[in-house]
Chain A
Amino acid sequence: MAEIDIDLIRGLREQSPQAQRKALERYGNEVFALVARMLPATEDAEEVYQDVFVKVFRNIAMYDAEKSSLRTWISRIAYNESVTWLRHKRLAVIYFEDREGGAEKLTDAEVEETLGHPNSDMVQLIRAALKHLPPDERAIVTMFYYEEMSLKEIAYVTESIPTTVASKLSRTRKKICKIIKMLQS
């Protein structure tokens, strides 16, 4: 662990306002993006963002540097807070649910062609398809492709295991293809 992180954690444990400001500067944008990605409105994201950091500052004594980095630990809290918020609000949002198992029938070649070959139209279709994914799946896909987190880190954030995350990612890829096909038809 970098010395700067050790200093930051020590400062947070001492409840130093300077350290808290530093943590907000360093991880604030990332946490806000994660929260805003999962929640429907910016106002909700602001509320949950504040709750996340209040929790981080209050429970910093529980942070174990051997289990994860500070960034991953904060992401885990943000993910859990967002999921809890969604569960409590019970929003009436409809997501694509592949009940017939059509996505599983897609071949790897079809999926690779849709997601792999650079095509600006396809990018727009993928963006449309992403909106139909449930928040947790969208969060996992973003953590993997955009934030480039490892499977182990994603598993820690989502309180899961790497193999589960891997199979979820594979299923979500196929799901995106299925949604694109539905949109095209």
Chain B
Amino acid sequence: MTEEKINAFRQTDANLRDALRMDEAERPQMPADLNERLMQRMVVEDKKPRRIVIWPWIAAACVAGVMIIWLTPPKTEITDVVVAENKPKVEAPAAKEAETQKAEIAPIEVQDVKAVKAVKRPPVRNEQKLVAQESPVAEPVPTATPAVSEAHADIAMAEKPQKEAKPVTLTERDIPITRPENYKYTPEEIALMKKQANEAYLRWAELELEISKNNLQQTAQQ
């Protein structure tokens, strides 16, 4: 229907126009004070402090905090190492065995390590996997002190001929402070072990940084 035809109805439909006019005339008038009430309402609403909804932000911050705590690698390993380091020192005098037993002791300790790994430390597994991905050679366990690093280097060297083909994850239990051969290293060997331990520590620190960065990125993406 064209607009002209529709507009023509406005002229022709006189009854309809009259009816509407009468209806509008009978419609209740706007209360006189309505505008005044409206202005008062506007003033009251302007004076009201604007409510800022902050609970979604608080909730988001809590979730982010929980995720950071959950995803950050556990720091207990270092303290475990320190504790383990102290423990054998007490037992050291009692544990002076012959050099011939060395071959028998080593496999037992590795088995022990495996058992401990399977039972005790599920959260560390991820980190250990990451270590393996990043640098398969960097087997030493993260250490905080040079003494611990030395111990790791020692066990790595001691077990090299037997375990070279099979990568073994070492823990603080492998620290061979009780072994007699520890007292027989030459200064050059000790220096080399220290160097290796330092390198391993640096790699571990870099890896920690990478993991932290990755965690932060993941959190930011979420």
Contact = CB atoms under 8 A, between A and B. Distances in A.
Interface string A91-111: 000000000000000000000
B16 A24 contact: no
A53 interface: yes
A37 B27 CA distance: 8
Interface string B1-44: 11100110110111111111111100110110011011101100
Interface string A11-42: 00000010011001100110011001100001
Contacts of A123: 15, 18-19, 22
B39 A21 contact: yes
B188 interface: no
A118 B23 CA distance: 17
Contact of B23 (A57, A115, A130, A176): A130
B59 to A, nearest CB: 28
Contacts of A84: none
Contacts of A36: 27-28, 30
Chain B interface SS verdict (over half): helix
Interface string A37-59: 10000100010011001100100
Contacts of B17: 145-146
Q: Which range contains the number of B residues in contact with the other chain?
A: 20 to 34
B3 to A, nearest CB: 6
B30 A122 contact: no
Chain A interface size band reads 35 or more
A118 B14 contact: yes
B3 A162 contact: yes
Contacts of B2: 166
A167 interface: yes
11 contacts: A21-B35, A50-B38, A53-B38, A112-B13, A117-B14, A119-B15, A126-B15, A145-B20, A146-B20, A173-B13, A176-B16
Given A33-B24, A49-B38, 8 more contacts: A17-B42, A36-B28, A36-B30, A54-B45, A112-B13, A117-B14, A166-B1, A166-B3
In the complex, the 10 A-B pairs of residues with the closest C-beta atoms, listed nearest first: A126-B19, A32-B30, A115-B13, A24-B35, A146-B20, A127-B19, A115-B16, A166-B6, A123-B18, A116-B12
Interface of B: 1-3, 6-7, 9-10, 12-24, 27-28, 30-31, 34-35, 37-39, 41-42, 45
